[in-house]
């Protein structure tokens, strides 16, 4: 959650719940996929984890330590452990920086490497992502999107992080290049025992790379399950089902009966009452516009936030309280 404000003279300050009560665990060396459409809060989630946005309330625990309320020094050490790769490789690099300056920027902040040792490390990092070390003195505009994304990954690896937040790392790339980057990410994960938080709108990419998948809608988690289960018919939330059916695929077996949702994602500043999804939900019930469903294992054996899936009695009890 965070507040949107418009400066000193603004008359009304409005709370926008970009993220609303998110509970999430990420385990070591796994890839957790976060899927959702624009406005679902997936990017805000990534930025909050990496510390670019301070949450209004809540905790982020890393190895049991709280990131949000940590001291300045502790925050600096967390900076080393969690890195991010951004969506658009073309704006991920300062156009006035050479590649070596870009890649070594984190090293200069966090390590004592200088001079030849710094160059050596930068070269090594580039080679790890399949870029020749000779490019060190060139500028970002001389490279293609796929090459830049490799360099961005090299920069993220510079401090030997534990977690890398990947925010739509392939959405600006062509299919053949996307495949190269996904393969690279998987190789690096094995090699360096990395943990990924993979944020994407593209279900086919997420199902391919993730161990577990979290589906988000308008700032909330609606369903969470292992990747295989979700993509092999164990999708229970009507939104997950609609997302899956809307995903175009060349694989005939993957083509499901299309569920075409009406309307579009509502404004997060003005969410609907009750379940956020009910105005678009094909199976909405009267209760959905009154009460908010919570994530619950009881109906499907994995967390789903839906009255249709979970037994209503329990949820209505909560509503009455």
Partner 1 sequence: MNAPLLAIEDLHVHFNTYAGTVRAVNGVSFEIRSGEMFGLVGESGCGKTVTGLAIMRAIPSPGRIMKGRIFFQGEDLITKSESEMRDIRGGRIAMIFQDPTASLNPVFTAGYQISLQITQHRHVSKKEAKQLAFDMFSEVGLPHAKSIYNTYPHELSGGMQQRVMIAMALASGAELLIADEPTTALDVTIQAQILALLSQLRESEGLTILLITHDLGVVAETCDRVAVTYDGHIVESGTVDDVLYQTKHPYTQGLLAALPDTVRHKQSLEVIKGSVPDGLHSVSGCSFHPRCPKVMDICLDQPPSLIIVGEKEHSASCYLYMEETA
Partner 2 sequence: MTTVAPDLEIPIEDIKAGKRVTEYHLMWWAFRRDPLAVLSLVILLGFILGAIFAPNLTPYPEQGRGDPNLLEKFSPPNQGHLLGTDYLGRDVLTRILYGGRSSLAIGFLVVIVAVLIGVPLGAISGYYGGWIDNLVMRITDIFLAFPPLLLAIALASALGASFTNTMIAISFTWWPWYTRLVRAQTLSLRERYFIEAARSIGVPSWKIITSHVLPNVMTPVMVQATMDLGGAILVGAAVSFIGLGVQPPLADWGQMVSIGRIYFIERPWYAGSAGLAIFLVTLAFNLLGDAVRDAADPHTRRVVDVGR
| C-beta of 51 vs 145, nearer to partner 1 | 145
Largest separation between any pair of C-alpha atoms in the chain: 68
Candidates 257, 260, 270, 321: give the one binding partner 1 (CB under 8 A).
260
Q: Which residue from 68, 26, 34 is spatially nearest to 51, judged by alpha carbons?
A: 68
The binder of 79, among partner 1, partner 2, none, by C-beta within 5 to 8 A per type, is: partner 2
| C-beta of 231 vs 307, nearer to partner 1 | 231
Interatomic CA distance for residues 230 and 212, integer angstroms: 9
Least gap, CB of 187 to partner 1 (angstroms): 8
Candidates 13, 112, 176, 321: give the one binding partner 1 (CB under 8 A).
176
The binder of 174, among partner 1, partner 2, none, by C-beta within 5 to 8 A per type, is: partner 1
The binder of 320, among partner 2, partner 1, none, by C-beta within 5 to 8 A per type, is: none
186 binds partner 1 (CB under 8 A): yes
Q: What 8-state DSSP symbol labels residue 296? A: B
Q: Which residue from 90, 81, 89, 84 is spatially nearest to 43, judged by alpha carbons?
A: 84
Q: Which residue from 244, 210, 224 is spatially nearest to 302, judged by alpha carbons?
A: 224
| C-beta of 91 vs 249, nearer to partner 2 | 91
* Residues near partner 2 (CB under 8 A): 7-9, 47, 50-52, 75-76, 79, 83-84, 86-88, 91-98, 102, 105-106, 109-110, 134-135, 137-139, 141-142, 152, 155, 159
105 binds partner 1 (CB under 8 A): no
Q: Identify which range of 84-92, 101-109, 241-249, 308-316 contacts partner 1 by CB under 8 A.
A: 241-249
Least gap, CB of 137 to partner 2 (angstroms): 7
| Cβ contact 21:220 at 8 Å | yes
CB count within 10 Å of CB 310 equals: 21
Is residue 286 classed exposed, middle or buried when 0-12, 13-18 and 19+ CB atoms within 10 A define those classes?
exposed
**At 95, is the secondary structure helix, strand, or coil?**
coil
Structural element, H or E, at residue 288: none
Side-chain half-sphere CA neighbours of 108 within 13 A: 9
Candidates 79, 92, 119, 180: give the one binding partner 1 (CB under 8 A).
180
The binder of 111, among partner 2, partner 1, none, by C-beta within 5 to 8 A per type, is: none
The binder of 7, among partner 2, partner 1, none, by C-beta within 5 to 8 A per type, is: partner 2
Tokens of 41: 């809060």
254 binds partner 1 (CB under 8 A): yes
Interatomic CA distance for residues 144 and 173, integer angstroms: 9
38 binds partner 1 (CB under 8 A): yes
270 binds partner 1 (CB under 8 A): no
| C-beta of 230 vs 291, nearer to partner 1 | 230
Tokens of 251: 């694989």
Q: Please give the C-alpha separations between residue 215 and each of 25, 77, 227, 230, 233, in angstroms, as whole numbers.
A: 14, 30, 11, 10, 15
Structural element, H or E, at residue 321: none
320 binds partner 1 (CB under 8 A): no
Least gap, CB of 266 to partner 2 (angstroms): 24
| Cβ contact 39:265 at 8 Å | yes
Q: Identify which range of 1-9, 120-128, 256-264, 307-315 contacts partner 1 by CB under 8 A.
A: 256-264
- Rounded-to-10 torsion of CA 57, 74, 45, 90: 140
**For binding to partner 1 (CB under 8 A), which residues are involved?**
37-38, 144, 146-147, 174-180, 182-183, 186-187, 201, 203-205, 207-209, 227-228, 231, 242-243, 245-252, 254-255, 258, 260-262, 264-265
């Amino acid at each position: 959650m965070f507040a949107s404000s418009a400066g000193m003279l603004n008359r009304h300050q409005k709370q926008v719940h970009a993220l609303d009560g998110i509970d999430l665990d990420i385990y070591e060396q796994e890839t957790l996929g976060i899927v959702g459409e624009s406005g679902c809060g997936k990017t805000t989630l990534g930025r909050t984890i990496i510390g670019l946005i301070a949450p209004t309330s809540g905790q982020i625990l890393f190895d049991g330590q709280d990131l949000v309320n940590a001291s300045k020094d502790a925050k600096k050490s967390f900076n080393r452990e969690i890195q991010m790769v951004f969506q658009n490789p073309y704006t991920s690099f300062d156009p006035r920086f050479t590649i070596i300056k870009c890649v070594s920027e984190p090293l200069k902040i966090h390590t004592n490497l200088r001079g030849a040792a710094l160059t050596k490390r930068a070269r090594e990092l580039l080679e790890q992502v399949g870029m020749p070390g000779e490019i060190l003195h060139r500028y970002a505009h001389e490279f293609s999107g796929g090459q830049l994304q490799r360099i961005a990954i090299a920069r993220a690896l510079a401090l030997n992080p534990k977690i890398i937040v990947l925010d739509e790392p392939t959405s600006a790339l062509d299919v053949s290049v996307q495949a190269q980057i996904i393969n690279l990410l998987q190789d690096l994960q094995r090699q360096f025992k990395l943990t990924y938080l993979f944020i994407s709108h593209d279900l086919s990419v997420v199902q391919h790379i993730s161990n577990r998948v979290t589906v988000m809608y308008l700032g909330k988690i609606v369903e969470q399950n292992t990747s295989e289960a979700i993509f092999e018919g164990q999708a229970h939330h009507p939104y997950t089902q609609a997302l899956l059916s809307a995903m175009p695929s060349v694989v005939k077996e993957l083509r499901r009966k299309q569920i075409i949702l009406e309307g579009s994602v509502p404004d997060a500043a003005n969410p609907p009452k009750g379940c956020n999804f009910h105005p678009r939900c094909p199976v909405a019930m009267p209760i959905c516009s009154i009460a908010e469903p919570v994530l619950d294992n009881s109906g499907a054996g994995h967390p789903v936030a839906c009255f249709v899936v979970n037994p209503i009695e329990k949820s209505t009890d909560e509503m009455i309280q």
